[in-house]
Amino acid sequence: MNPYVLSTFMFSLGLGTFMTFISSNWILAWMGLEINTLAIIPLMAQPHHPRAVESATKYFMTQAAGAAIIMFSSLTNAWTTGVWDISNLTNPIANTMFMMALALKIGLAPTHFWLPEVLQGLDLTTGLILSTWQKLAPFALLIQTAHNIDPVLLTFLGTVSTIVGGWGGLNQTQLRKIMAYSSIAHMGWMIVIVQFSPKIALISLTIYIILTSSMFMILKTLMIKKLDSMSIIWSSNPILATMTALVLLSLAGLPPLTGFMPKWLILQEMAKQEMLIIAMIMALATLISLFFYLRLCYVIMLTIKPDVNNKPSMWRCKQTKMPLPVLLMITTATLLLPATPTVMILFT
């Protein structure tokens, strides 16, 4: 792609998200979401592969449906209240429609079916943008309106997403689909807690972006997309294999890694709100997710890809060099847990 065209699309991507961030009016927020969606469609279809074009088409249809529902819910709310302010979303029907539209946009269960299929057809760079940057604008709207949305609906969507995210990733062999189900599970944790503590939800979103970016950068560095390809990491680069396993365990939320921080804070807040049963269900659903993360670690550390002996062995090849951004993201994704008090102060 021409660098000037690519710069235009990336600028539009940032502009749409920024417009949604600063908007207090439904029309401006909707325009930001549309600019954001239209800017990423050419980036998705850029490889000119039929699978990429299919993913771009599916993403466009899904996001267009979500944007239409958001516009209809804002019109319904403005019809009954007479104002277009985002913070004044008081109509119950508009609340429900808006929350389901946001669930469709960010891939919450039970409206998650498009996310694994779309992410599977994209290259790793565009998949990283879809899994991280594209969550920001809808999540900003959710934080502004969470106090008006039915808590039962938020709890239901969050709990179902954590369960579906765990079960869906069990039998996957494509790494991008595994990351898609990981995204669904992590979003469920954020949706449950946003009604009680938006600060913890923001911390969870930040940690999720760091962990997901680290994993996609590792996959991009190694140029691997399938589960069986991960077995060659240990023989070609033992240090990066160890770091990859630590990032996967951090995604699972195991202490003393960074990924334990949001789950710890969320479970603590849910205990304060006397939601012990929901907290227990979500913690047990995390054990299901832990299984396929450990499965990836097993493939990396304890297996060797079946191969013939008539070509050079992987350990004789030149090791893959890790760029500085990858090292910084891996370090943050694994060693940030002791800084939890500082993080809480920064998000106050």
User: What's the pLDDT score for residue 23?
Assistant: 86
User: What's the pLDDT score for residue 311?
Assistant: 53
Could you give phi then psi for residue 25, rounded to 5 degrees? -115, 140
> Is there a contact between 197 and 136 (Cβ–Cβ < 8 Å)?
no
Task: Give domain limits for the chain.
Answer: 1-149, 151-305+317-348
> Is there a contact between 226 and 174 (Cβ–Cβ < 8 Å)?
yes
User: What's the pLDDT score for residue 319?
Assistant: 57
User: What's the pLDDT score for residue 227?
Assistant: 85
User: What's the pLDDT score for residue 310?
Assistant: 54
User: What's the pLDDT score for residue 324?
Assistant: 80
User: What's the pLDDT score for residue 239?
Assistant: 83
> Rounded distance, CA 214 to CA 45, Å?
24
User: What's the pLDDT score for residue 300?
Assistant: 86
What percent of the chain is predicted at pLDDT more than 70? 95
Token pair of 339 as six digits:
């800084």
> Is there a contact between 204 and 226 (Cβ–Cβ < 8 Å)?
no
CA angle (211 as vertex; 193, 174 as ends), nearest 5: 105
Q: What tens digit of pLDDT does each residue of 120-175 get?
A: 989 999 999 999 999 999 999 999 888 888 899 999 999 999 999 989 888 888 89
User: What's the pLDDT score for residue 154?
Assistant: 92
| Regions of the chain with pLDDT less than 50 | 316
- Name the 3-class secondary structure at 71: helix
Nearest CA to 196 out of 241, 154, 259, 240 is that of 154
User: What's the pLDDT score for residue 337?
Assistant: 87
User: What's the pLDDT score for residue 90?
Assistant: 84
Token pair of 325 as six digits:
């951004």
> Rounded distance, CA 250 to CA 297, Å?
12
